Structure 1
Amino acid sequence: MKRCFDIVASCFGLLVLLPVLLALVVAVVVDSGFPVFFAQKRVGKGGRLFRIYKFRSMSVSKAAAEGSFDAGNTRRVTRIGRMLRKTKLDELPQLWNVLIGDMSLVGPRPEVQKWVEAYPERWRFVHSIRPGITDNASLEFRNEEEILAASTDPEETYRDMVLPRKLDLYEDYVRNHSLLGDIRIIFRTIF
């Protein structure tokens, strides 16, 4: 039932949001050129690697596409990227990831390999389901970039404070998720 909901909702979202998606494509190109999309390797269900898609909000970095993660580093963020990140519109291309089955609308956010390796046992449990575009951790850490940018050691803050709390929320979701709960999270995300 969850997969059927994901397919219908992602198709509907892509169709309804097509004018917004096209406007964002133009905005990214005008602001910082090509490529429009950022694709990065993330770990999904069963530990399988896949490419997550976002509107590009930073200057191009080959290392980032392969999974490097510069916690709290906002120096490469473009002008349009600031707006995309603040509004979370950079995440809209992940509707495609949902449609093709790499992701779900709601579920634990997929992480890069480096941070999966920091807590492998906990991630093994989390990876029993598809990752999602949004979840309770996404809502709680909506201002994660600001938290990390304010830290004297962003990597340590992410590894030792942010990620363990996210994993608590991810594990709770895996144990207790339901379609009604997913719908509630979607509405909380929109609002």
Structure 2
Amino acid sequence: MLKKWEELPLEMQTEEVRYYYDILCKKKFSLVIKRLFDIFISAIMLAVLSPVFLILAIAIKVDSHGPIFYRQERVTAYGKRFRIHKFRTMINNADKKGSLITLKNDCRVTRVGSLIRKCRLDEISQLIDVFFGDMTFVGTRPEVVKYVNQYAPVMMATLLLPAGVTSEACILYKDEDKLLDDVANVDDVYVEEVLPRKMYYNLRSIEKFSFWGDIGTMLKTMFAVLGKDYEADATGELEFVASLHKEEL
């Protein structure tokens, strides 16, 4: 499940990435269990949720013009690009008519899309990506190429594992759109402020990786969707962001 060091993309063969790579090398059995769990559970969930998929597909097509799925190109393990499966909640070609990030009260969101997003149902189609191995249940959310190209060296360590449906960062930043509301330059603020804070948790999750830890994150995600709030590690975030700025200098 983990490539040999010399087989990694050159941009990942750095001292910053090596620290996290060595941690994962000691947990290869857990990585195998993680992948088997992804295949087994995603297959079951796809079968059980197939009626929901059908209902959402019909609702999306009736509500607005465009495809059922939004297939934006994202980045997963080792820098591989793939087209993510998300139920379309915005007007067709929305990414060409505004920011790559969805904001609060975004006018591009359709009527049915608003309801789907509120219930977090747009993400369930990523079970397809989990089954085929482009994603995993717990891991760093897949970013678009534009943002990955702006990763600091240490952030590249998150590409040692497949992109995830959920993560600790997702739980703590579930209302990310509120942080970017009324911001003049959304992309700059996201890359310079929001992304580094999320990366603090993504990298910490690799340090503490375990199969049962993933199960715990999935349970916390369920509670978060139901309305439970979790407290962020503000001190850790600030120290991590400060270390990034120090490296830049």
Tell me by how many angstroms 1:96 deviates: 0.2
1:14 is matched with which residue: 25, 42, 46? 46
Match for 2:44: what amino acid? Answer: F
Aligned to 2:84: 52
Pairing of 1:1-150 with structure 2 (within 5 A)? 1-61=33-93, 69-70=100-101, 72=103, 74-150=106-182
The worse-fitting range, judged by mean Cα deviation, of 81-90 and 145-154 is 145-154
Counterpart-to-counterpart distance in 2, 1:31 and 1:62: 15
CA gap of 1:120–1:189, structure 2 versus 1, over 3 A, is same
Q: SS where residue 42 of structure 1 aligns?
A: strand
Q: SS where residue 93 of structure 1 aligns?
A: helix
Q: What stretches of structure 2 of length at least 5 have no aligned partner?
A: 1-32, 224-249
Q: Which runs of 4+ in 1 moved over 3 A?
A: none
Match for 1:138: what amino acid? Answer: C
Counterpart-to-counterpart distance in 2, 1:63 and 1:144: 18
Which entry has the higher C-alpha Rg, 1 or 2?
Answer: 2
Contact 2:65 2:92 in 1 (8 A): no
Q: What stretches of structure 1 of length at least 5 have no aligned partner?
A: none
Contact 2:65 2:91 in 1 (8 A): no
Contact 2:68 2:87 in 1 (8 A): yes
CA gap of 1:93–1:71, structure 2 versus 1, over 3 A, is closer
The normalised TM-score by structure 1 is 0.92
Contact 1:135 1:185 in 2 (8 A): yes
Instruction: Report how many aligned residue pairs link the two structures.
Output: 188
2:198 is matched with which residue: 150, 154, 166? 166
CA RMSD of aligned residues (A): 1.7
Aligned to 2:233: none
Contact 1:122 1:167 in 2 (8 A): no
Counterpart-to-counterpart distance in 2, 1:48 and 1:84: 28
